[in-house]
Amino acid sequence: MSSTAGPELWLVRHGETEWSRDGKHTSTTDLPLTADGEEAAILLGPRLYDVDFDLVLTSPRQRARRTAEMAGFADVDVDEDLVEWAYGDYEGVTTAEIRETVPDWSVWTHPVPGGETADQVSARLDRVIARAREHDRTLVFAHGHSLRVLTARWLEQPAAEGRFFRLDTSTVSVLGFERETPVLLKWNS
């Protein structure tokens, strides 16, 4: 007998872009996938084909939409709440570059000038969770930091706890339940 019960939320981080490859913060800049990112997105398909999803969502950014399409999910609902954490003044900048003027900076612990707060990101991803919990199995295509916050919130933790969940491009993760407790079922695979 399985000890899991309740809805599942499957997470796919989009394929590689030039900026994700180079460690640049990318939120509103709408970059395409690299050739490697497209190839990895295609390889996601066989890992997802045999799973029955009753809701499939994607961020509106082309890197997420293209990953969904190449993985075999062209007919998906676009959900604005799945966009990446808005990095404001740090858009297109690496952490190392930010730390030249703000030592020890991290999106998890410091402000993002001109961007979103952790509370703002949490509020919109809480809406995604509420929507997903109305379905048996939801699949979402989105971004590194937003999916890490989504995971923290699924686990009933503050956004900053997302720092513990490294998430690579073109990976599949699964959130679910053990009895009534929200849990991590599979991560970064």
Task: Give catalytic residues, as residue numbers.
Answer: 14, 84
Burial class (CB in 10 A: 0-12, 13-18, 19+), 156: exposed
In single-letter form, the type of residue at position 172 comes to V
For residue 176, what are the β-bridge partners?
Answer: 183
Contact by Cβ (8 Å): 179, 88: no
Given the DSSP bridges, would you call strands 55-58 and 8-13 parallel, antiparallel or unpaired? unpaired
Q: Extract the tokens encoding 168.
A: 């690579």
CA 29/CA 146 separation, integer angstroms: 15
Please provide residue 174's backbone torsions phi and psi, each rounded to the nearest 5 degrees: -135, 130
